[in-house]
Structure 1
Amino acid sequence: MTRTGPSSRLLMVMPYSQFVRKAAEAGFEVWAIWDPSLREQKYLDEVAEHARELLLTDFGDEAGLRALIAETVRAHGIGTVLHLGAEESMPPAVAEAEELGVSPNPASAVAALNDKAAMRALLAAHGLSPVRSEVAGGVDEVAAAVARLPLPVVVKPARASGSRGVALIRDADDLQEWTARVTEAALAGPYLVEEFLQGPEFSVETLSSGGEHHVIGITAKRTTGAPFFVETSHIHPAPLRPEERAALHAVVIGLLDLAGYRFGPAHTEVVLTARGPRIVESQTRLGGDRIPLLIESASDYDIEAAIFRTLAGEPVEPPQPRHTASVGFFFLPAGRLESVAGLDAIRALPYVQALHFPFSPGDELPRTTNSFTRHGYVVVDAESPAEADARIARVRGLLGADVREVSLAAPKGAHR
């Protein structure tokens, strides 16, 4: 389909290569902005392949990014500016787009959802998903906030992602370990200190159009638990009773309404506690950890393509899952990878949809402390969650990685 006029001209900031391709397939003329320090040239070439123009800038230079957006919108009569990438560079991009009148969302909505502290304050102000919490401006203020709340508590940077800087604080030793970790990683505040939510965890994917929010799917989430809460696997669709599903729908749609979110995907994490669903966090983007592929494998629904069909005016039609899909992550010891075997055997399995193992012999495997330091993943399809678990276990058993482990001193006070 070919579209004409300003409404067909789309500027995307930090678009993944498949986004540009799928936007073009939906009939849009696409301009793309990327920071070349974040991706290798081969990837940028893939982005450029389906774009009218690829523009490069430093996302850390907010004034420069805003100026490039304004210049491109005015030079080409851009009708819409979208940022569907990482949250860090969203604020200046959405603010500039709103000022130019080409943002489908108010900047306030994006800020309210992406900033964990702002989201918690918004929910508290309206009595939705109540969670005891405090905001601490700096590391030195976290200890005082911890002292005022019943232990255990969770502490995390308000604007970080991928489980970075998340910890369960049960005592002074945990607090000391967390302080050392976020200081070393330069994870700046503000920090959110809140009660520890206990119960099964879920990711809720939505697609909004004209302020109406559609739940596309719910994914069950498993983590390592304390101290780092790194995701180990996901099952889609989540096995839920109808009343549980309805409760998750209601709390997520309630949050999106309160934030004033108008258009696009959102990824919201929720814990189903004994007191009802409690929102952990939300982002104005698609879920990571290959959740879009899980939805497509289980339902034949391409949520990425649906974003651009929706932008073009088509109605949102949530899918009905036909079977189960799961992603399982690899967790290997930290150290030097001496050899790896089994990858071809894994790829040959008929139920394997994707395999990612980005290491070769000689590489150093990091210690896993967040989503970015896991050691790869496999995506499988199955007829049930139990079968998916069995298939993930088989794949993990086939992965033969010989690692020369390094001796890692445990951080002072860390709990194993």
Structure 2
Amino acid sequence: MENEEERRARGAGRPRVLVVAGRAGKLQVARDAGFEVVYVQAPQVFTPAHRAGLDEALLLDYTRPERVIPVVAALHGAAPLDLVVSFTDPGLDLAAALSEQLGLPGNPAAVSALLRDKYALRRRLAEAGIEHHPCARVRTAADLRAFGEVHGYPLILKPLDGTGSQGVRRIASPRDADLAFAAETVTDVPLLAERFLTGTEISVETISQHGRHLVVALTAKFIDENFVEKGHVVPAGVGAGDRAAVESLVRKLLDAVGLTEGCAHTEVMLTADGPVIIESHNRMGGDRIYELVKLSHGTDLERLSYLLPLDRGHLPEASPSPQCAAAIWFVRAEPGRVVAVDGQDKATALPGVCEVVVTAAPGDTVGPVRSSGDRIGYVIATGADSDEALGRARRAATTIVVRTEDVR
């Protein structure tokens, strides 16, 4: 295993980074930052857009580490890597395992495992004396009712390792507890029950370098009845006192889980009793939040994720001040078969609009929005302040009309 001196000696040329899965744009960011890019992706997902941003590709099922790790270790022996990263939940464990095995900078594999398991995170926060929020692993309706009898209703029920708001349910009564398990009396994998939090939900975007954490931005989020995000705006309208409490809480969390490098996205509820952690991830926020941060604060989280672990840049001493606000709002349609998509050009021409994406096309079938993956497009817009940016994004999103017909 090479030491830091040997790694720095090689650093005179282009450093080599292995990117595990993720969007093609992430590869181009690495190329633009001066990296030689190696990409691991499942063959059926690999596209010409990915090919354009890389130097080498390993077309392997990255969810099978027992197959990928030996191949990457052999490649590292022939042409040493400097960094391994992933920006997507399914790739985080592999990236951490490779970093540990190859002796490269990065977070220990235990960090990904802990943040993926929402119950384990609650336990760690309690053990560290950071916060004690009632929760339990439940397998049956009886388990859930028992938790409700002690802690009261409403409750939140969700997968232990879920992402994208999938499978999140509000349990308002013992009857809801029974309905949640109506299809099966016992789940193969336990679910997480928590006391329901009320207040204002935000997310905290951070980046860390060698154990020092910088809070870059706070994001306000807007959710529907299924807890799926309808939109986000940066910066969130949070007062100075609440912001100080949130920043302190999130830094304690990052220290408690052992995160030392790269981005984190931590969801927090601002309650009447102060901020409470909802969950956290050792990656940038999804839903293009990193783009909102770049537009509003001028901080490129993607680029810094490559540069900071190798000391090719330094973490600022203070959080950046926003120069404007940026918002995203998601396009919706009634479930059914798409017959027409109108208004994209009109939306693009509206003031402040930076990006318009619609993934639904005539002939596609649109289903109910039960998770983030069910949404069919978005608009990103900027404004002088959060209200203006949010208003522009919402107005542009509603300008796009995806007409559907019933397929029943």
Query: Is the structural similarity TM-score above 0.5?
Result: yes
Are the structure 2 counterparts of residues 202 and 176 from structure 1 closer, same or farther at C-alpha, using a change threshold of 3 Å?
Answer: same
Are the structure 2 counterparts of residues 275 and 14 from structure 1 closer, same or farther at C-alpha, using a change threshold of 3 Å?
Answer: same
Choose 5-14 or 289-298, whichever is displaced more.
5-14
- Quote the Cα distance in structure 2 between the aligned partners of 1:357 and 1:271: 30
- Superposition map of 1:228-377 within 5 A: 228-313=226-311, 314-317=313-316, 318-377=319-378
Are the structure 2 counterparts of residues 289 and 11 from structure 1 closer, same or farther at C-alpha, using a change threshold of 3 Å?
Answer: same
Kindly state the Cα deviation for residue 142 of structure 1 after the two structures are TM-superposed. Answer: 4.5
- Quote the Cα distance in structure 2 between the aligned partners of 1:289 and 1:266: 14
Aligned residue number for residue 5 of structure 1: 10
- Superposition map of 1:136-147 within 5 A: 136=138, 141-142=143-144, 144-147=146-149
- Quote the Cα distance in structure 2 between the aligned partners of 1:260 and 1:217: 21
- Superposition map of 1:128-143 within 5 A: 128-136=130-138, 141-142=143-144
Do structure 1's residue 94 and structure 2's residue 96 form an aligned pair?
Answer: yes
Aligned residue number for residue 383 of structure 2: 382
Q: Which amino acid counterpart does residue 168 of structure 1 have in structure 2?
A: R
- Quote the Cα distance in structure 1 between the aligned partners of 2:278 and 2:407: 35
- Quote the Cα distance in structure 2 between the aligned partners of 1:94 and 1:180: 38
TM-score (norm: length of structure 2)? 0.89
- Quote the Cα distance in structure 2 between the aligned partners of 1:384 and 1:305: 25
Choose 232-241 or 25-34, whichever is displaced more.
25-34
Kindly state the Cα deviation for residue 59 of structure 1 after the two structures are TM-superposed. Answer: 2.6
Do structure 1's residue 110 and structure 2's residue 112 form an aligned pair?
Answer: yes
Aligned residue number for residue 20 of structure 1: 27
- Superposition map of 1:46-195 within 5 A: 46-85=49-88, 87-136=89-138, 141-142=143-144, 144-179=146-181, 189-195=189-195
Choose 365-374 or 135-144, whichever is displaced more.
135-144
Kindly state the Cα deviation for residue 75 of structure 1 after the two structures are TM-superposed. Answer: 2.6
- Quote the Cα distance in structure 1 between the aligned partners of 2:330 and 2:188: 28
- Three-state SS of the structure 1 residue aligned to 2:233 is strand
Are the structure 2 counterparts of residues 333 and 141 from structure 1 closer, same or farther at C-alpha, using a change threshold of 3 Å?
Answer: same
Q: 2:118 touches 2:192 (CA, 8 Å); kept in 1?
A: yes
Choose 24-33 or 197-206, whichever is displaced more.
24-33
- Quote the Cα distance in structure 1 between the aligned partners of 2:361 and 2:28: 30
Aligned residues: 394
Cα deviation per residue 1:107-150 (whole Å; 9 max; x = unaligned)? 11222223211111100112213211112357885555455432
- Quote the Cα distance in structure 1 between the aligned partners of 2:281 and 2:146: 28
- Quote the Cα distance in structure 1 between the aligned partners of 2:198 and 2:249: 17
Cα deviation per residue 1:329-359 (whole Å; 9 max; x = unaligned)? 1222111122221111111224111111111
Cα deviation per residue 1:239-284 (whole Å; 9 max; x = unaligned)? 1111111111111111000111110011100000111111111111
Aligned residue number for residue 224 of structure 2: 224
Identity of aligned residues (%): 32
- Quote the Cα distance in structure 1 between the aligned partners of 2:213 and 2:96: 20
- Quote the Cα distance in structure 1 between the aligned partners of 2:306 and 2:357: 27
Choose 52-61 or 20-29, whichever is displaced more.
20-29
TM-score (norm: length of structure 1)? 0.88
Aligned residue number for residue 5 of structure 2: none
Q: 2:160 touches 2:191 (CA, 8 Å); kept in 1?
A: yes
